[in-house]
Amino acid sequence: MAVDQQPLSLAGDSISAVQHHQPSLRKRLSGAWRLYKAWQQRELPARPPPFTIETLQVLLGWLHSKSPPVALAVFLAFRCLLRTGEMLAVTARDIVIPSNSCSGVLYLGDTKIAGRNPNAGMVNLTDPTLVFCSKLGQVQYSLTQL
């Protein structure tokens, strides 16, 4: 299933169906369930694509007129593919941008997928606009307000 891009849920449904229609196999499929659980823990989740850059620009413009820190948080979340909880947990000290640099690092700490990906606790900031806005945001207001 991993080779032909079938969803992971199909594997779990298949094992459940076999157990349901062949109750005598119920205790004999523990290896299949262990393999399924291991696969579930290792595979990155499928995520829907984010909205377009034009939609983002409109949203950020409106948010900036209401609350600039929230606009920065949404921009950061969009560019770094952050979950809502990760976005809300970001503070100014989590963003490290060396002086005279056009890139930086966002440290997320322990994340939901840290066990699946050893680099999940950090994100490289390479978008020059995001880096500029993050520097400006660190100076003008604290991200701890979010």
Report yes or no: 79 and 127 within 8 Å, Cβ to Cβ.
yes
Lowest mean pLDDT among 8-12, 34-38, 49-53: 49-53
Predicted confidence (pLDDT) per residue in 91-133, tens digit:
888 888 888 888 888 888 766 665 666 666 788 898 888 888 8
User: The tokens of 18 are what?
Assistant: 């076999």
The rounded distance, in Å, linking the Cα atoms of 79 and 102 is 15
Tokens, residue 124? 């490289």
Q: Please give the DSSP secondary-structure letter assigned to residue 113.
A: T
Residues 32, 111: Cα–Cα separation, whole Å: 28
Instruction: Give pLDDT tens digits for 61-96.
Output: 999 999 998 999 999 999 888 888 888 888 888 888
**Of residues 100, 119, 97, the one with CA closest to residue 108:** 119
What element of type H or E holds 95? strand 95-96
Please state the pTM of the whole predicted model. Answer: 0.58
Mean pLDDT of the chain: 82
The pLDDT value given to residue 134: 83
